[in-house]
Amino acid sequence: MVFTPSPMLLKLLYTRGSLHNLPQNGGVAFSIKNRLDTVRLTGFKQVQIGDVVIPAEQVQIDLGNGERRAATAINDGAQAIELPVGRSLLFLLDTPVLAEGIHSVQVWFSTDAFGDLHVEVEDAIVSAVNHKPRIPRSGDDDYSEAAIAARQRFAEQFSGKEFSHLKHYSFDAHQLQGNCEHFMGVAQIPVGLAGPLTVHGEHAQGDFLIPMATTEGTLVASYNRGMQLLNLCGGVKCTVIGDAMQRAPVFVFSDARGARDFGKWVEDHLDQIRPQAESTSSVAKLQYIDTYLSNKFAYLRFNFSTGDAAGQNMVGRATFAACSWILEQYKDHPIEHFYLESNFATDKKASQINVMRTRGKRVVAEAVIKRDILQQRMRVTPEQLAYHGQVSNVGAFISGANNNGAHSANGITALFIATGQDVANVSESSAGILYSEVTKEGDLYISITIPSLIVATHGGGTGLATQNECLQMLGCVGRGTVRKFAEIVAGVVLAGELSLGAAISSSDWVSSHEQYGRNR
């Protein structure tokens, strides 16, 4: 099942800025990129630039890798062009070169899924020339040894330095397609081991050796100390209590009433919107849509489950499909503007809405730390740590922080780098809500909630060589392992909170860094 793109979204097929004159008066070219859904280009009618019509007989299509096809050949049916999402086609027009300035561009073509399409945009011819040296690329195979070596030589010549470590790696560079562009080498990050950590989760059960990639002295040692404490008290209990990934488009109306009525319409039509969103993926499932109104804007927060993937790209495509259907179906008030992302999903940014409503996995780690073990191992009492937590809460409050965790970003970042996660997601994932109390038996109950932990065990960088080995170490490779990984991450975070909190309370913090964290 594919969605029908609205005229507003059809404009996105054209790559703005791609209009240019070919060398030696060889004509004009522009690019179209499939940003909608996988289709086949089955017909081509014409292009019009300004008042000049260029029929299919004067158009060739550059498919890449040196292959070109006459536009008229597509109309025969036998030479339809496969156009998966993300693929670009360069259209070469046999027409006089264009003057500098803005030009209207119209393209008429057909696909098997969408039928006849008409794209109309404006683009410009500019004379600006980039005189900077360009990074070498290969159109045939940009991950070949020759292409990589060319970039290595370029970097050495440009910087005037010779690199003896960056250039050496132990995997087939072709595995990096979709993960890294212009590849020339690797940054080797030390990986230390902490644990094993005993986890009592619903998905992670047992002892786990924790790989932590970091260059910060004392980090691995501190987390290892916290894990030993948890183990001596029976381990850490971890629970995933929420799971949702978002994309948040915005629809703009002429006034607030239009936005209000639209929000109600979306609520009433959720059952029709859901199959449109889910048509783009066998994994993404639309759970619900939150509507937030302000001024004349309607912000829709689409919430999906995404299987073992983190899912930002997956839900972007699914939301795009749903919104295209909405743009076609909603007729009560004119929609003046539409943007697929409104900054309301707060991708790669910490936010209060994600603390409140969940982004990624919402997971809790908790433990009861025995009084005698805490005093023996950490040289603090439960009362000291609990009181220290109250004082820290005041500090977090007056600073304007939206969470009160001590340093969850440390453990999360080290695990993210080791296991191939999108490290920028630490900005959201590191929010931690810490709570502690002294039990009636005189022990310390402590727990941390991570409300927006964005993790994956499939896709992204999780399949790369060393990253996948670290996931294998944790037993988090294969279908249905993402919640297991989330529980392990939460347990690691709690170990770090215990260790740092006790170090500060007992005044061991500075001395520990001086002992383990100095390399000068």
Active site residues: 216, 422, 513
CA distance 492 to 472: 17
- List the one residue out of 2, 275, 277 whose CA is nearest residue 112: 2
Angle CA(57)–CA(6)–CA(325) in degrees, nearest 5?
A: 140
Q: Are strands 101-111 and 39-49 parallel, antiparallel or unpaired?
A: antiparallel
Helix (H) or strand (E) holding 290: strand 285-294
In the 3-class helix/strand/coil scheme, how is 168-208 assigned residue by residue? CCCCCHHHHCCCCCCCCCCCCCCEEEEEEEEEEECCCEEEE
Write out the E strands in 23-114: 28-33, 39-49, 52-55, 59-64, 67-70, 81-83, 88-93, 101-111
Are the CB atoms for 76 and 94 separated by under 8 Å?
no
Task: State how far the Cα of 494 lies from the Cα of 215, in Å rounded to an integer.
Answer: 21
Give the separation between CA 130 and CA 133, rounded to whole angstroms. 8
Closest C-alpha to 456, from 279, 305, 277, 289: 305
Q: What is the CA radius of gyration of the chain?
A: 28
Among 15, 38, 201, which Cα is nearest to 114's? 38
Q: Which of 122, 176, 178, 115 is nearest to 148 (CA)?
A: 176
Q: How many residues does the chain have?
A: 520
One-letter amino acid at 107 equals V
- Distance separating alpha carbons of residues 64 and 89, to the nearest angstrom: 8
123: CB partners within 8 A, 6+ apart? 14, 16, 17, 18, 19, 30, 102, 103, 105
C-alpha 508/C-alpha 520 separation (Å) is 20
Phi/psi for 438 (5° steps) reads -90, 125
Which residues does 119 contact at the CB level (< 8 Å), separation at least 6?
Answer: 10, 11, 13, 14, 32, 105, 106, 107
